[in-house]
Amino acid sequence: MSAGLIAGGELRRIALDLVTPFRTSFGEETARNVLLVAVDMEYGDATVRGWGECVAMTAPLYSPEFVDAAALVIEEHLLGRLAGQGLCADDVAGHLAPVKGHAMAKAAVEMAILDAELRHDGTPFASRIGATRTRVPSGVSVGIFDDVDTLAAQVDAYMTDGYARIKLKIEPGWDLEPVGMIRRLIGDDVPLQVDANTAYRREDIEHLCRLDEFGLLLIEQPLPEEDLLGHVRLAERSTTPVCLDESIHSAAGAVDAIELGACSVVNIKPGRVGGYLEARRVHDACRQRGVAVWCGGMLETGIGRAPNVALAALDGFTLPGDVSGADRFWRRDIVTDPVRMTDGTVPVPTTPGLGFDLDIEFLDQVTTARRTLSGPRPARRADG
Ligand code: OSB
Ligand code: MG
């Protein structure tokens, strides 16, 4: 693993329309406004550009992070802490630790440095983390619709595509009926799970237990992010395994949630835990404790989708992830080799780096803003 110096880079905003609107309990997205980070790393004579994708959304509705804030934090509070010193991807999280929160911003920076380092070393990300599988099962996350017939048509199309598992977004008023209807439609053998994105309260535990009859793989984050005890109460009552997404911010936090009995499954999203290296540690901690994990998604472009697939190839990822083919979300991706799902699986990238090559021409077409980052600047360590 080489140490390099940050010699420059850029922050880019791109706008990409979704092939179909994606509605969750927290809102509807029709397009993504994605922040990309490029970092030029100097390794002796060689300068290598690495890219990272920030998974923060436009508004702080999934988590407190949002795109504009992430851009500001990266430029004003993170990059200065990394400037002017020999840097491996492994060092990044430690240097950024004094900054509280902002996991998605930190993850994007670490990604760019990791991508550069892997490209320089000629190593694919899967090899770096010791993932050996060459394909992984591909699940699809299905949004909320105005009526169950539209939902049924959408799920039917994804079944025809061959997805290995269906995840339905739920919220109060959109749960027992659509879930029961989809279970009847796809039959008992197709893995089915639900995700509430914190839309319920402890008073709803009784109601949520009525989902037990549908033989779900799991229920994801029914209660608020902070309500670990509520999830313990639900897990005590329900036969459906409880999985946490929004509540999990680190490997240590995952261990606490597991030991408290708040979950028996963990959704691992690299952006939410501050990067792919911490995501690996979440996986390791869960695996040691016999807790199943799966790889979540944040409507990533090809930059984030490729390493998600590699992460999902680690042995502890025993459940199908939200690692869909790129065409689930995009008419055209910003990479030359978009993730393609066939027969319910996606291939683990083998190219050096995080596993993608950019389609620069298309990337330029969808770019809405660009900011060049100069070389090393003094760290900004205090207020003002
Ligand atoms: O809760 O898993 C979630 C998308 C955006 C924000 C949160 C979530 C999701 C998804 C989509 O469910 C998963 C995907 O990218 O395939
Ligand atoms: Mg979720």
pTM score, whole prediction: 0.96
Give the confidence band of 1 by pLDDT, cuts at 50, 70, 90: confident
Is residue 195 in contact with ligand 1, taking CB distance under 6 Å? yes
| Ligand 1 atom nearest to CA at 300 | 15
Residue nearest to atom 12 of ligand 1 (CA): 141
Q: pLDDT tens-digit profile of 337-357?
A: 999 999 999 999 999 999 999
User: What is the 318 CA–ligand 1 centroid distance (Å)?
Assistant: 19
Is residue 297 in contact with ligand 1, taking CB distance under 6 Å? yes
Residue 383 pLDDT more than 50?
Answer: no
User: What is the 81 CA–ligand 1 centroid distance (Å)?
Assistant: 31
| Ligand 1 atom nearest to CA at 29 | 5
User: What is the 197 CA–ligand 1 centroid distance (Å)?
Assistant: 9
Give the confidence band of 382 by pLDDT, cuts at 50, 70, 90: very low
Is residue 298 in contact with ligand 1, taking CB distance under 6 Å? yes
Residue 53: nearest ligand to its CA?
A: 1
User: What is the 352 CA–ligand 2 centroid distance (Å)?
Assistant: 30
Q: For 5-122+360-374, give the CATH class.
A: alpha beta
Give the confidence band of 374 by pLDDT, cuts at 50, 70, 90: confident
Is residue 197 in contact with ligand 1, taking CB distance under 6 Å? yes
Is residue 25 in contact with ligand 1, taking CB distance under 6 Å? no
| Ligand 1 atom nearest to CA at 221 | 1
User: What is the 366 CA–ligand 1 centroid distance (Å)?
Assistant: 22
Is residue 62 in contact with ligand 1, taking CB distance under 6 Å? yes
Q: Tell me the pLDDT of the chain averaged across its residues.
A: 96
Residue pair 291/283 in contact by the 8 Å Cβ criterion: no
Q: pLDDT tens-digit profile of 9-68?
A: 999 999 999 999 999 999 999 999 999 999 999 999 999 999 999 999 999 999 999 999
Q: pLDDT tens-digit profile of 104-138?
A: 999 999 999 999 999 999 999 999 999 999 999 99
Is residue 191 in contact with ligand 1, taking CB distance under 6 Å? no
Residue 95 pLDDT more than 50?
Answer: yes
Is residue 301 in contact with ligand 1, taking CB distance under 6 Å? no
Ligand 1 probe mutation, 18, 57, 299, most atoms within 8 A of CB: 299
Residue 305: nearest ligand to its CA?
A: 1
Catalytic residues: 169, 269
Superfamily holding 126-347? Enolase-like C-terminal domain (3.20.20.120)
Q: pLDDT tens-digit profile of 303-330?
A: 999 999 999 999 999 999 999 999 999 9
The predicted pLDDT at position 384 comes to 38
The predicted pLDDT at position 375 comes to 65
Residue 184 pLDDT more than 90?
Answer: yes
Domain boundaries, the chain: 5-122+360-374, 126-347
The predicted pLDDT at position 63 comes to 97
C-alpha–C-alpha distance, residues 334 and 352, integer Å:
18
Strand partners, 242: 219
